[in-house]
Structure 1
Amino acid sequence: MIRLPLWIFTKSEDFPFFIQYGYHDSECYLHSHEDFSELVIVLEGSAEHTVGTEHYPISKGDVFVINQDTEHGFTGVSDFRICNIMFRPEVLFEHIYNIRQSPGFQALFVVAPHYLQNHRFSSRLHLQSQEFAAVKAMIRDMITEYNRKQEGWQTYCYACFLQLCVRLSRLYQLTNTEQHRCVMQLAAATAYMEGHFCSSISVAELAQMSGYSQRQFSRLFKEAYGVSPNAYITNLRIQKAQQLLQNTQLPIGEIAWNCGFEDQNYFSRMFRQTAGVTPSAYRNRERNNVGKSAQ
């Protein structure tokens, strides 16, 4: 199987993003993405979407996300035209916490791609005519800006991409099929974690919120996100602490409390396990890096 790295499409390391129209008169060979995800919007025609050994019909108006290491391709193409948007989610969504609090975002960009890869998940977002026209216009605007590369084009494309992601995430929440509901159950719990990680959250509460048993929720969550629910919450708290250490003069004990850690020693221990250094050493290192960059 061919694994495609993002550098084939763009050499930019500081802006890992690529957008294009894709025209397919013949089948697209099976491949996977080495280090990026891909948002696909079907603009015209139809095809069979091959994911691993499964085949799913797709047509004009369908929207889906393919994450890295997912083997996929297109067969049975008929007047098939798509828009490919390739990106690294860990970079483009790293500090956009608000969008990660959307159940639709968690469903479309995290849970559904995982289910598509591992659980014969055929359901997807389908745009109706009015929304389809609006999304096509957004894509056209983005591609024009990306190709012209005028002053500020990266910021322009990034802003348009985030706007598109929000719009699609909202629409995903309105889709009402049994497979979508299963995805949304898990996504809703994750979105709640993203918005309330500084508060006390138990796995039992999250499981009840999702409609699964505690054991089933923990299993499904780890499958989709790669870590346990408790580890996910801890990582969110550490990320927030890193922000506060970099951008404020707050005492470390106050930062620990603000991030949901009631015990400063436990906070320091967990911070070191995650970041590799103590909170004070992290703050000093970041300050030194800022000083060097300003020279």
Structure 2
Amino acid sequence: MNNPAHLLTREDLFEDPTLPLQVYIRDPQPEFPLHSHGFDELVIILKGTAMHVIDGQGFPVKSGDVFVIARNHAHQYQEMHGLALSNILFDAKALTMEQWDIRALPGFHALFSLEPAFRTQHNFQSRLQLSDQQLANVNKIIRDLTRETELRNPGYRVMAKGLFMQLAVLLSRCYSDEPTDESIDLLRIGDAIAHIEAHYAEKITLDELAEKSHLSKRHFLRIFHDCIGRSPIDHLMHIRTQKAAELLRHTDRTITDIAFDCGFSDGNYFTRCFRKTTGETPRQYRTGSTTRDRPQ
């Protein structure tokens, strides 16, 4: 019987509980048993080679490779030969990454969400491969980030988050600018997601998204669902509902105005979609948010 993966938590590895980031530079990478974690992990291979085993599938890695390991995926490195890497552990929700304007980059979606999901589902072998110069630029940011988190001078939290954002932008641009034959479909889906997030309040059709992605409607639907776990239109409704929930929490605007501004032309349909996503009506959600946000 295989040994179950040990689950690592933020409390295990994040040295500063007030900062949703932690950097580890492993040179060399030590032997480490099969494990998973309750946060995401950005990995940059600095040198050497290895077999990265994730969810029981092996993927060879080498210097310059960059990839994200999503939470709750069991993994370990085997057959290591001079392997050194940077591990940047991060809590996407605590960093409010869903609000970053970097989400306009298809490479961001491909690197941070689509590729991690697609890899184990479809034995997806492609990943971002940095040139020597790109790897040097990335290393400089990582060194600066490490210094900020270790010294903890006044303002270090803002600096650390800013450096991580800078790193995410650089890597996302690299992913977008240098597609491979395998990654091109993920970038096309990433482009569709970016379009949905930027234009969620407008009328968006399936035909429009498929055409924007340069894919047939059938192929687009299949890949999108494989990556996201729901259809493009369901994802559009999900984004609209998320935006509406934010406005319900933080403004006193009427529910009808919020519905229209988030792309819902019918109040009853808005209520049905909102309840499907949150389990509450918009009015119930607003009342509950007021109670939850009230100082104790």
Return the TM-score normalized by structure 2.
Answer: 0.89
Q: Which residue of 1 aligns with 2:62?
A: 59
Equivalent runs, 1:94-133 vs 2, <5 Å: 94-133=97-136
Asked if 1:39 corresponds to 2:37, the answer is no
AA aligned to 2:150 is N
Asked if 1:250 corresponds to 2:260, the answer is no
What secondary structure sits across from 2:116 in the alignment? helix
Deviation at 1:63, TM superposition (A): 0.8
Asked if 1:262 corresponds to 2:248, the answer is no
What secondary structure sits across from 2:201 in the alignment? coil
Q: Which residue of 2 aligns with 1:189?
A: 192
Q: Distance in 1 between matches of 2:207 and 2:69?
A: 31
AA aligned to 1:213 is S
Q: Distance in 2 between matches of 1:216 and 1:40?
A: 30
AA aligned to 1:195 is A
Q: Which runs of 5+ in 2 are unaligned?
A: none
Retained in 1: the 8 A contact 2:6–2:34? Answer: no
Question: Are residues 94 and 267 of structure 1, via their aligned partners in 2, closer, same or farther at CA, if it must alter by over 3 Å?
Answer: farther
Q: Which residue of 2 aligns with 1:136?
A: 139
Retained in 1: the 8 A contact 2:29–2:85? Answer: no
Q: Which residue of 1 aligns with 2:151?
A: 148
Equivalent runs, 1:281-292 vs 2, <5 Å: 281-292=284-295
Q: Which residue of 2 aligns with 1:199?
A: 202
Q: Distance in 1 between matches of 2:133 and 2:47?
A: 15
Provide the alpha-carbon RMSD of the alignment.
2.3
AA aligned to 1:30 is L
Deviation at 1:81, TM superposition (A): 1.1
Deviation at 1:170, TM superposition (A): 0.6
Retained in 2: the 8 A contact 1:51–1:116? Answer: no
Bigger drift between 95-104 and 139-148 goes to 95-104
Retained in 2: the 8 A contact 1:27–1:76? Answer: no
Q: Distance in 2 between matches of 1:12 and 1:144?
A: 14
Q: Distance in 2 between matches of 1:235 and 1:113?
A: 21
Q: Which residue of 1 aligns with 2:233?
A: 230
Q: Which runs of 5+ in 1 are unaligned?
A: none
Q: Distance in 1 between matches of 2:280 and 2:54?
A: 41
Deviation at 1:166, TM superposition (A): 1.0
Question: Are residues 56 and 291 of structure 1, via their aligned partners in 2, closer, same or farther at CA, if it must alter by over 3 Å?
Answer: closer
Q: Distance in 2 between matches of 1:244 and 1:54?
A: 42
Sequence identity percentage: 35
Q: Which residue of 1 aligns with 2:22?
A: 18
Deviation at 1:291, TM superposition (A): 4.1
Deviation at 1:40, TM superposition (A): 0.2
